Structure 1
Amino acid sequence: MAHENPPSLWRWMKKSAKTITGNNGRQVKLAMHQERSMPMELSGHIIQYLQDDMASMIRCGLVCRTWLTISRPHVFREICLDNRNTDEFASLIMHSMSTIPPSVQKLELVPSPPPDPRWLRRLVPFLGYLADVSFLNVENVDWSALHSNSRMNFVSTFNTLTELYLGNIIFVELSEVETLISSFPLLESLSLSQVSWASSQSAGSSHRLPPSLKKLTLLSTKIHPILSWILSHDQPHLIKDLGLKTIETADTEAIRQYMVTLGPRLEAITLGFQKPVTHSYIPVDTEAEAELTSSPSSYTSTNPKCIVLSLLTGLRTVTLSNFINHADPLTSSSSFWAPFIIESINSLHVERVILEIS
């Protein structure tokens, strides 16, 4: 006895049947399988593995509308603007049908040096379209060329900013630096590289670091004025990750005071020196300081420890920047101090000690 098709299955086959005409003119009904698209979540999970292969990611966007929607945030996640592509990008994001702006999470403003006073000033009006940026890198720009309104518009654009990198920028006054970095309420990471100012006039306690800031890195930037500004507040801001990569003799006292303030709250520290150092770069026990010289051959296990470093009992990561120069292995700004610094660490939580090759 032949089994009859279940009614539900029969209705599905009849509904999905397609009539075609063969070469002999006869019409035949074929049962077509119902097409089912892959769930968007699964497609997104697969496509994200191509985020480091931008050429393939762009090709995925040409497959279908669904894949275009999925791949676009990856394609436009990181945008770098310079002298060559600014006008073209501005015309794209200003279009009424543009869907690019919400995808931009990381923005780099890096014109070719020397700084063109007009470049950033022309760009500021278009930055208002990029309100979802969380990482901002600004280099080689003339901040003094911006009028007060332009500066205000620049700052107000990035309300969601969590990471800020400033490189090779000259400010008129230190207060301008303080005002800028204090204007991002959600900022978690701040890096200043080759940032300088003509006047050391500080804004003092009228501006503070954002409460959310956890990481501060200073490279080829005057350390003493920045730390002195932080220490000038009634309750200095306490961060968890401190990077001081170009320490000079004049910075010693400010570093000492801030480390004492941080104490066990500091979890990661990076130390580097502007040039081969002498013992005056790091504060040590004054009673034993005379025993320490700048000659590596004089180092022994009885040399004095850095009392300030021993107070950082919450450290988990210790990094020595520029430990070895890859071009000249015999040149190092911190190889002599490496055992001295490491021996001074009194934290039981240290997980990593990193010796950087520059």
Structure 2
Amino acid sequence: MTNLEMDEQPVLPLEITDIIIDHLCHDVQALGNCGIVCSEWLIRSRHHLFSTVQLWPWRVRSFFSLAASKDCTFANHINRIEIDDRRVRTREHSGKESRFKGIRGETLAEEVLFRDTMSQTDIPCLAQVKSMQVRNVDWTTLSPTQRVVLRGHLAKFHKLDRLEFQNVTFHDLREVVRVVNSFPSLCHLTANITFTKYIEHAISSAKSLSLSTNLRSIELGTEDGIPVVLTCVERWDRPERLVRLRLEHIKFNHLQYIQPTLRKLGKYLREISLAFVKVDHDFIDLLDFSHLSDLRRLESPFLASIEIKCRMECEADAESIDWSRLERVLLALHFFGLEIVQFIGEAHAGSPLESDLVERWVYGGMPDLRERGVLGVRVAKEEVETLSLEDAPAKD
């Protein structure tokens, strides 16, 4: 073997270098450096760098220009795209100076918002996208004709199985249903949405709508989204399809919509996550599945896991929970196959609340569950989103 041939042999097996690159999956600079080492490292680095692409308005034109190039090296690695109409860069002129400002000022010409971004769906690299997040978009600004055209563009994402709406505004649920039903492979929907119409009207119209029964997972967390979407889901003809339900920011007035939905879906759901704005005794009633008298076999596909999140800042919050009653309900579910109960104490970012304190409250209140190895406890601090000047406009 010649010296040249020896030099071409990798020092480490490719399996090892792949593991090392995978470990750097969140370090953009390191991944960029790995990509210039050799072609094998380039492929693995591109997989992480471009698996998720954030199409902020000021990046869209240059991104699609590069993606359309024959020398593009990332086209086959895009799995998820994120779009946020508030990530614009605007210019405010003050004499000879100009600086980036928030929503105010003159929007730069190269900014491309969600609607026009979706008009680029003929770009081949988007054909394999499986996940899309749409954030801070006002759908009501579109005319009926524009909405039809937009749905046509969205329908080209044939492989999309996960759609997330975050702070998106609609007139009512009708347009949401049209969009969701245009994706033949969609399995997950996050609908953190608001409606311009009165909530009573939105709920009333939702009763006659049919949301795709292909959905297997739904996540809701807004004042409008929870009652309206659940009203639609409760009337499903095939409730057995839905196996995962996650509800955030639950308030007392939401219980009247959550309870009938769980009564219908309860014997099919495998995972439930409930996060409450305020601890209240009534939330325990949501977990009471004693009405499921048609359960005949212990191996029935019943709940596998429950996640409960409550605001806990002090001992008074812990004392407000009827732990013994909650434990009785959870033990009954455990009898029917419940494997994991995850209790999360939620606190604000600056709270002194520590995990060991919450563990003492929860484990002390539900000792039987702990002994059975079913109960897990942790603290979740609210994160304050920080944006770089490159990603978001500065504020006064």
Whole-angstrom CA distance in 2 between matches of 1:320 and 1:32: 60
3-state SS, counterpart of residue 108 of structure 1: strand
Amino acid at match of 1:64: C
The residue type equivalent to 1:219 in the other structure is G
Judge which range, 142-151 or 296-305, deviates more: 296-305
Shift of 1:167: 0.7
CA gap of 1:36–1:170, structure 2 versus 1, over 3 A, is same
1:132 and 2:128 are equivalent in the alignment: yes
Q: Using the TM superposition, give the Cα deviation of residue 223 of structure 1 relative to its aligned residue in structure 2, in angstroms.
A: 1.2
The amino acid of 2:186's aligned partner reads L
The alpha-carbon distance between structure 1 residues 350 and 272, as it changes in their structure 2 partners (threshold 3 A), is same
Q: Deviations over 1:287-324 (max 9, x none)?
A: xxxxxxx9976766776889799568443343455533
Q: Is the 8 A contact 2:66 2:72 kept in 1?
A: yes
User: Where do 1:211-226 residues align within 5 Å?
Assistant: 211=214, 213-221=215-223, 222-226=225-229
Distance 1:63 1:209, change over 3 A: same
Counterparts of 1:260-339 in structure 2 under 5 Å? 260-274=263-277, 276-280=278-282, 283=285, 313-320=336-343, 323-328=346-351
The residue type paired with residue 324 of structure 1 is: A
Q: Which residue of 2 aligns with 1:10?
A: none
Q: TM-score, normalising length from structure 2?
A: 0.64
Q: 1:306 to 1:160 in 2, by over 3 A?
A: farther
Give 1:196's match in structure 2, choosing from 179, 182, 194: 194
2-side partners of 1:142 and 1:69: how far apart? Answer: 37
Over 3 Å counting, the alpha-carbon distance change for 1:124 and 1:326 in structure 2 is closer
Distance 1:89 1:304 in 2: 52
User: What does 1:163-242 align with in structure 2 at a 5 Å threshold?
Assistant: 163-193=162-192, 195-199=193-197, 200=202, 202=205, 204=207, 207-211=210-214, 213-221=215-223, 222-242=225-245
Show the 5 A alignment for 1:52-91: 52=25, 53-91=27-65
Task: Please give the per-residue CA displacement for 1:71-105, whole angstroms capped at 9, x wherever unaligned.
Answer: 33333222112132122112111234434332111
Q: Which has the larger radius of gyration?
A: 1
- Residues 355/72 of structure 1: CA separation in 2 closer, same or farther (3 Å cut): closer
1:49 aligns with 2:20: yes
Which residue of the partner structure matches residue 148 of structure 1? 147
- Tell me, yes or no, if the aligned pair for 2:151 and 2:179 is still in contact at 8 Å: no
Shift of 1:354: 5.0
Q: Which amino acid counterpart does residue 172 of structure 1 have in structure 2?
A: H
For structure 1, which segment, 137-146 or 117-126, has the greater mean C-alpha deviation from structure 2 after superposition? 117-126
Q: What letter is aligned with 2:185? A: L
2:380 is the alignment partner of 1:356: yes
Aligned residues: 311
Q: Distance in 2 between matches of 1:354 and 1:316?
A: 17
Seen in structure 2, the aligned counterparts of structure 1 residues 67 and 209 have a Cα distance that, compared at 3 Å, is same
Structure with higher RCO (Cα < 8 A, 6+ apart): 2
Secondary structure at the aligned position of 2:272 is classed as strand
Would you say the 8 A contact 2:55–2:84 is kept in 1?
A: yes
Residues 256 and 308, structure 1, Cα contact 8 Å, conserved in 2: no
Distance 1:150 1:71 in 2: 36
Q: Distance in 2 between matches of 1:96 and 1:118?
A: 23
Do the aligned residues in 1 keep the contact of 2:343 with 2:378 (CA within 8 Å)?
Answer: yes
- Specify which of 68, 84, 92 is matched with residue 94 of structure 1: 68
Distance 1:233 1:154 in 2: 27
Instruction: Give the letter aligned to residue 243 of structure 1.
Output: R
CA RMSD, 1 decimal: 4.1
SS, match of residue 195 in structure 2: strand
For 2:265, the aligned partner's letter is L
Q: Secondary structure at the match of 1:232?
A: coil
Change (3 A) 1:42 1:303: closer
Quote how far apart the aligned CAs of 1:141 are.
Answer: 1.6
- The CA deviation string for residues 152-194 of structure 1, in whole angstroms up to 9 with x for no partner, is 233223221222221111111111222223333333333233x
Residue correspondence of structure 1 range 154-165 to structure 2 within 5 A: 154-165=153-164
CA distance in structure 2 between the partners assigned to 1:263 and 1:103 by the alignment: 38
Asked whether the 8 Å contact 2:362–2:377 carries over to 1, the reply is: no
The aligned amino acid for 1:81 is L
Tell me the SS of whatever aligns to 1:137: strand
**Structure 2 CA distance for partners of 1:45 and 1:125, relative to 1, 3 Å:** farther
Partners of 1:71 and 1:281 in 2: CA distance: 46
For residues 75 and 340 of structure 2, the distance between their equivalents in structure 1, rounded to whole angstroms, comes to 37
Aligned equivalents of 1:342, 1:262: Cα separation in 2: 26
112 and 48 in structure 1: CA distance in 2 versus 1, 3 angstrom threshold:
farther
Moved more, 133-142 or 118-127: 118-127
Gaps of 5+ in 2: 88-102, 289-315, 383-396
- Aligned-partner Cα distance in 2 for 1:127–1:47: 31
Distance 1:298 1:135, change over 3 A: closer
Q: Residue 279 of structure 2 contacts residue 317 of structure 2 at CA under 8 Å; is this kept in 1? A: no
Structure 2 partner of 1:105:
79
The alpha-carbon distance between structure 1 residues 44 and 34, as it changes in their structure 2 partners (threshold 3 A), is same
Percent sequence identity over aligned pairs: 25
- TM-score (normalised: structure 1): 0.69
Cα distance in 2 for residues equivalent to 1:68 and 1:175:
45
